[in-house]
Structure 1
Amino acid sequence: MPHLSVKLYPGRTEEVKQDLANKLQDFVVKELGCDPKVVSVSFKEIEADKWKDVIDDEIAGEEIYIESDF
């Protein structure tokens, strides 16, 4: 607890993803007051033509706190 799953278009370097993972972990630790050892972050690259599947399968019908233009 907690696990963050980030879906994004392909093309970011491993360094960029690692930096983002570190920043997300730091933020979650600060906000939730948990041990960094229990925070995990994963990335899944989704091609642009498949992004609608993410919206349909994971976003539609969910409580959204920050909405984005897709």
Structure 2
Amino acid sequence: MPHLSVKLYPGRSKEVKQDFANKLQDFVVKELGCEPNVVSVSFKEIEPDQWKKVIGDETTGEDYYIESDF
């Protein structure tokens, strides 16, 4: 509890993703009041031409609080 799954276009370095994951973890710990060891973060790179299909398929049934205009 909780897991954050980040989907993005390819091209960011492992270091950039690690830094972002650390910042997400810090934010979740602060805002939800949980311990860092229970927060996980994963990344999935999706090619731009597959974005709408993959995101549509993978997020079916999820509650959106913010939707993008892509």
Q: CA deviation at 1:67?
A: 2.1
- Counting aligned pairs with the same residue, the percent is 81
Paired positions, count = 70
TM superposition shift of 1:65: 1.3
Residue of structure 2 equivalent to 1:30:
30
Taking structure 2 as the reference length, the TM-score comes to 0.88
1:50 partner amino acid: Q
SS at structure 1 position matched to 2:11: coil
Show the counterpart of 1:47: 47
Structure 2 unmatched ranges of 5 or more: none
Gaps (5+ residues) in structure 1? none
Matches of 1:11 and 1:21, distance apart in 2: 16
> By how many angstroms is 1:60 displaced?
5.4
CA distance in 1, matches of 2:2, 2:24: 11
TM-score by length of 1: 0.88
- Larger mean Cα displacement after TM superposition, 59-68 or 22-31: 59-68
Change (3 A) 1:7 1:61: same
1:8 corresponds to: 8
* Aligned residues: CA RMSD: 1.4
The runs of at least 4 consecutive aligned structure 1 residues that moved more than 2 Å come to 58-63
